[in-house]
């Protein structure tokens, strides 16, 4: 069972990895919302944030934090984000909040990815959480057929377009025995913008909020 206290604990622990005055990458989701709140309260300010979603941008600005474009920021020192599932090898499924493409871009541009989760997200094998795949709308049916060939059951996510104007297919029942290979395979389907496997560029540090404290896992 996900616990809000565990999320908050992991989020607050991530502050220790955020240097004062840095330009910081910030992800999306309820765990990150705790992180943004803690960042806003902190006495050592950051220079600015690069945000992975419109939702996080609104919260960052409300917390008094400047938000700048990745194109002007260049490479980032640190990226802090949550995940839907994580292994002890620091490979992830992300995209439950629909921000996977921008999250993947900001993670790729960052030297260190600090991932914050509650204990319910830690798994031995990825795939119980349906894998989100962001797709150009005109390719939806074609991509869905290819995902069925890979053994999955894609379901169109309700609730409108992503921040990039695309749709998301949530792929159920994939057997993710080799996350890196599957990540590449899905990326090669024409019409796929990004998929929620963060295996080729996983996290560098995983902070797992527990009732008793925070467990730190490194790559
Ligand atoms: C958004 C994400 C989130 O990091 C992921 O869905 C976890 O969310 P939460 O912290 O609310 O459990 O990938 O696209």
Name the domain count of the chain.
2
Q: Do residue 31 and residue 102 come from a single domain?
A: yes
| pLDDT interval class at 219 (50, 70, 90) | confident
Q: Do residue 66 and residue 145 come from a single domain?
A: no
The rounded distance, in Å, linking the Cα atoms of 143 and 115 is: 29
The rounded distance, in Å, linking the Cα atoms of 65 and 59 is: 9
Q: Do residue 167 and residue 205 come from a single domain?
A: no
Distance between first and last Cα of the chain: 26
**For residue 77, how far is its CA from the centre of ligand 1 (angstroms)?**
21
List 8's β-bridge partners, or say none. none
SS3 (DSSP) at 64: coil
Q: Do residue 142 and residue 182 come from a single domain?
A: yes
pLDDT digits (tens, 9 = 90+) for 153-178: 999 999 989 999 999 999 999 989 99
Q: Whose alpha carbon is nearest atom 8 of ligand 1?
A: 29
pLDDT digits (tens, 9 = 90+) for 77-111: 999 999 999 999 999 999 999 999 999 999 999 99
Question: Are the beta carbons of 79 and 114 closer than 8 angstroms?
Answer: yes
Query: Can you give the residue range of the structural domain that contains 171?
Result: 131-196
**For residue 93, how far is its CA from the centre of ligand 1 (angstroms)?**
9
**For residue 106, how far is its CA from the centre of ligand 1 (angstroms)?**
15
Nearest Cα to Cα of residue 53 among 99, 101, 108, 113: 99
Nearest atom (ligand 1) to Cα of 99: 14
Q: Do residue 91 and residue 168 come from a single domain?
A: no
Q: Do residue 9 and residue 107 come from a single domain?
A: yes
**Residue 51 maps to which CATH number?**
3.40.50.1360
Phi-psi map region of 39: left, alpha, beta (phi>0 left; psi -120 to 50 alpha): alpha
Q: What is the DSSP string of 164-219?
A: TS-EEEEEES---SSHHHHHHHHHTSTTEEEESEESTT--SEEEEEETTEEEEEE-
Ligand 1 mutation target, pool 7, 10, 28, most atoms within 8 A of CB: 28
Q: Do residue 78 and residue 142 come from a single domain?
A: no
pTM above threshold 0.75: yes
| Ligand 1, CB within 6 Å, residue ranges | 27-31, 81-84, 94-100, 103
List 92's β-bridge partners, or say none. 86, 198
Name the active-site residue from 103, 134, 158, 183. Answer: 103
The yes-or-no answer on residue 185 being catalytic is no
pLDDT digits (tens, 9 = 90+) for 90-99: 999 999 999 9
- In a 13 Å sphere around the CA of 168, the CA atoms on its Cβ side amount to 23
**Residue 190 maps to which CATH number?**
3.30.70.260
Mean pLDDT of 188-196: 98
**For residue 206, how far is its CA from the centre of ligand 1 (angstroms)?**
14
Q: Do residue 108 and residue 154 come from a single domain?
A: no
Q: Do residue 28 and residue 94 come from a single domain?
A: yes
Q: Do residue 96 and residue 177 come from a single domain?
A: no
Q: Do residue 156 and residue 53 come from a single domain?
A: no
The rounded distance, in Å, linking the Cα atoms of 29 and 218 is: 22
Nearest Cα to Cα of residue 82 among 99, 63, 70: 99
């Amino acid at each position: 069972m996900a616990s809000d206290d565990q999320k908050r604990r992991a989020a607050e622990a991530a502050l220790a990895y955020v240097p004062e005055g840095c330009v910081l990458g910030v992800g999306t989701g309820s765990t990150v919302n705790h992180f943004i709140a803690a960042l806003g309260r902190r006495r050592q300010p950051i220079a600015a944030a690069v945000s992975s979603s419109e939702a996080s941008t609104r919260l960052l600005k409300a917390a008094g934090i400047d938000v700048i474009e990745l194109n002007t920021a260049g490479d980032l020192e640190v990226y802090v984000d949550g995940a839907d599932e994580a292994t002890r090898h620091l490979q992830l499924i992300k995209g439950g909040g629909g921000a996977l493409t921008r999250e993947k871009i900001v993670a790729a541009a960052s030297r260190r990815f600090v991932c914050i989760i509650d204990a319910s997200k830690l798994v031995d094998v990825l795939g119980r959480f349906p894998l989100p795949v962001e797709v150009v709308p005109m390719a939806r049916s074609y991509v869905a057929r290819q995902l069925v060939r890979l053994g999955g059951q894609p379901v169109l996510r309700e609730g409108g377009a992503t921040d990039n104007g695309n749709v998301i297919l949530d792929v159920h029942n994939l057997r993710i025995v080799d996350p890196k290979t599957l990540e590449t395979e899905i990326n090669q389907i024409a019409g796929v913008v990004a998929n929620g496997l963060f295996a080729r560029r996983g996290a560098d540090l995983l902070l797992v909020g527990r009732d008793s404290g925070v467990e730190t896992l490194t790559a």
